[in-house]
Amino acid sequence: MKTLKWLRLSAVTLFVANSTLGDPVAHYTFDDSGDRFKDVSGNGYHGVLNGSGTTFASSGVAGLGDAMQSTTSSRVLVDTIPVSLNSFAISFWATSGTDWDNWISFGGTDNFFLQNAPYATPAAFLDNPGGVSGYTSWDLATSLAGGLNHIVVTADSTAGTASIYYNGVLADTAAWSVSSGESFGYLTIGGARNTTARNINATIDDVQVYGAALSGGDVSYLYTNPGSVIPEPATMSLILLFSLTGVFIRRILEI
């Protein structure tokens, strides 16, 4: 009886810790040598290179494949992605750049910039010059490490908060209140859409856009499984089933 109760608790804990959303709305791996800026989610939000000089090489992180070396003379532009700013998430891997510039920008009426601050304490910022209600800019609690770092920004107006994660760990939160009419809009990888002066010189990889907020468990999954996406609910159910089957057999053998 104790074993069955333990299994039930384990099942609930595992399911809650791994809330699932399904595939991202847009996903850029930069791995296809024939179409580097292809949206591999299958939704067709392909990017177009703006400028010249961008190169590609192995990211050096198992599971990520090739990475994009964004330069100060180029960036990738993606047309409108229909995701509400009311609830969304962006996940990507990047190195600290050589100047105060933008890894990623997005938005419609209001513009948002995921910015790099590479000086004495390299850090990531989410900046909103457009003035969305309840919003404040952030600085990561910990400076960026060398090599690729995993950065996630996730927001949910219903919960009233947005969070930024650094290498799987929650770094900061802020109030988030956006009207339902505000859309994610365009996406620029490696700079700001409205000016080439904000292009960054850094390595960027595995950019994922979700149409819902991510949980801490989701973020941890993306960090510990580089290149993966949040599993579909049905897939996670199978993972849960096989995991519990293995645990059940082991517990039976121990009795």
Summarize pLDDT for 68-126 with one digit per residue, the tens.
Answer: 999 999 999 999 999 988 899 999 999 988 888 999 999 866 678 888 887 666 677 78
Q: Between residues 7 and 217, which one has the greater pLDDT?
A: 217
Which residue in this structure is represented by tokens 């859409």? Answer: 193
For 21-31, the pLDDT digits (tens) are 668 999 999 99
**Residue 3 reports pLDDT greater than 50:** no
Dihedral in degrees, nearest 10, Cα atoms 76, 60, 230, 74: -10
Instruction: Judge contact between 119 and 110, C-beta under 8 A.
Output: no
**Residue 10 reports pLDDT greater than 60:** no
The pLDDT score that the predictor gives to residue 136 is 59
**Residue 217 reports pLDDT greater than 90:** yes
The pLDDT score that the predictor gives to residue 238 is 41
What residue ranges do the domains of the chain occupy?
24-247
CATH of the structural domain 24-247, one choice from 2.60.120.200, 3.40.50.800, 3.40.50.300, 3.55.50.30: 2.60.120.200
- Cα angle for residues 235, 241, 246 (degrees, 5° grid): 130
Of 214, 226, 243, 187, nearest in space to 26 by CA: 187
Structure tokens at 43: 């939704």
What are the Cα distances from residue 200, in Å, to 95, 106, 114, 203, 253?
10, 15, 11, 9, 56
Q: Between residues 146 and 73, which one has the greater pLDDT?
A: 73
DSSP 198: G
For 43-71, the pLDDT digits (tens) are 999 999 999 889 999 999 999 999 999 99
Sign of the four-CA dihedral 12, 155, 141, 200: positive
DSSP 199: B
* CA separation for the pair 171, 198 (Å, rounded): 24
